[in-house]
Amino acid sequence: MEIKLKVDASGLSCPLPILKASQAVKTVESGELVEVIATDPGSVKDFAAWATSTGNALVESGAADGKFRFLIRRK
Amino acid sequence: MTAEAAAKPKKLVIICYSGELEKTWATMILASTAGAMEMETTVFVTFWGLQTFVKGKKRITGENWMQKMMSFMQRPGASHRPLSKMNFMGMGPWMMFKLAKKYNVSKPKELLEMSQQMGVTFLPCQMTMDMFGIKREDLIDGMGEPVGAATALQLMTEADSTLFI
């Protein structure tokens, strides 16, 4: 499935990657995918917590090229 | 479990009591993130905390000389908070903001604006407004109706988590 929106939160500190992701997810339709790239190491656990709290699905959470990539499906 | 959690949002209440930069920062980080986590978030703003929510360009608030003097001694607004330690006449906060910019950390004012966009409710304390002579028009836009301790306590008893900062 295609990624509807890509958000680059590289270099941003807590809590900005989460705030940017939250704002981005609200702009897409239910079931659509949003990709967030971050460099904040804390964001790995933070995105999992955020997904649990909001009910949005964290489809992918991984690291590549020194960055973290999160794929979120809006609930 | 996820669907259930999402169906009934968690409630967070923050009592924003302090006016120092570091505590204001903590309040704004938690309030904005709670908003992003779709928690029903209410911030009850009281005592020194209320100074943060006075419009930045307001220099003096109050009716009588004591209130005016108080507001003169503690410049209001989210961008003018002193540090509780190492303030050094504003050098400390200036360095904190320099560091924040260098490391891409959002300032309290930006986080406050994001919190409001995310639906966080900020309720001013009526008693603090009366004591310091702060009027509704002195406060930033988008705040809720002024309330008292009973409303704050009612919200706290119904909340899943409560913080006093």
Q: How far is A35 from chain B (nearest CA, A)?
A: 16
Q: Where are the domains of chain B?
A: 2-164
What are the pLDDT digits (tens) for A27-52? Answer: 999 999 999 999 999 999 999 999 99
Cβ contact, residue pair B33, A53, below 8 Å? no
Q: Does B2 touch chain A (CB under 8 A)?
A: yes
Q: How far is A5 from chain B (nearest CA, A)?
A: 18
Q: Which CATH architecture has domain B2-164?
A: 3-Layer(aba) Sandwich (3.40)
For residue A34, the enclosing domain spans 3-73
Of A13, A18, A52, the CB nearest to B36: A18
pLDDT at B110 > cutoff 80? yes
Buried-state track B58-73, b at ≥16 Cβ within 10 A, e below 16: beebbeeeebbebbee
pTM (global) more than 0.90: yes
Of A11, A14, A54, the CB nearest to B6: A54
Cβ contact, residue pair B33, A18, below 8 Å? yes
pLDDT at B73 > cutoff 90? no
Q: Does B32 touch chain A (CB under 8 A)?
A: yes
CATH number for the domain harbouring residue A67: 3.30.110.40
Number of folded domains that form chain A: 1
> Which residues, 6+ apart, have CB-to-CB distance to B21 below 8 Å?
B81, B82, B83, B84, B92, B93, B96, B108
Active site residue A14: yes
The predicted structure's pLDDT at residue A4: 96
Concatenated DSSP letters of A49-65: HHHHHH--EEEEEEEET
| Local confidence band at B32 (pLDDT 50, 70, 90 cut-offs) | very high
Residues of A in contact with B3 (CB under 8 A): 55
The predicted structure's pLDDT at residue B153: 97
Tokens 């680059």: give the residue: A8
The predicted structure's pLDDT at residue B58: 83
Concatenated DSSP letters of B118-138: TT-EEEEBHHHHHHHT--GGG
The predicted structure's pLDDT at residue B75: 86
8 Å CB contact between B111 and B14: no
| Local confidence band at B4 (pLDDT 50, 70, 90 cut-offs) | low
Write out the two tokens for B145.
């109706």
8 Å CB contact between B13 and A60: no
Q: How far is A55 from chain B (nearest CA, A)?
A: 5
Q: Please give the residue of chain A at the shortest CA–CA distance from B104.
A: A12
Cis peptide before B76 (omega within 30 of 0): no
Strand order in the sheet with B161-164: B121-124, B40-45, B11-16, B161-164
Q: In percent, how much of chain A has pLDDT > 90?
A: 95
pLDDT at B59 > cutoff 90? no
The predicted structure's pLDDT at residue B81: 93
Residues of B in contact with A57 (CB under 8 A): 2
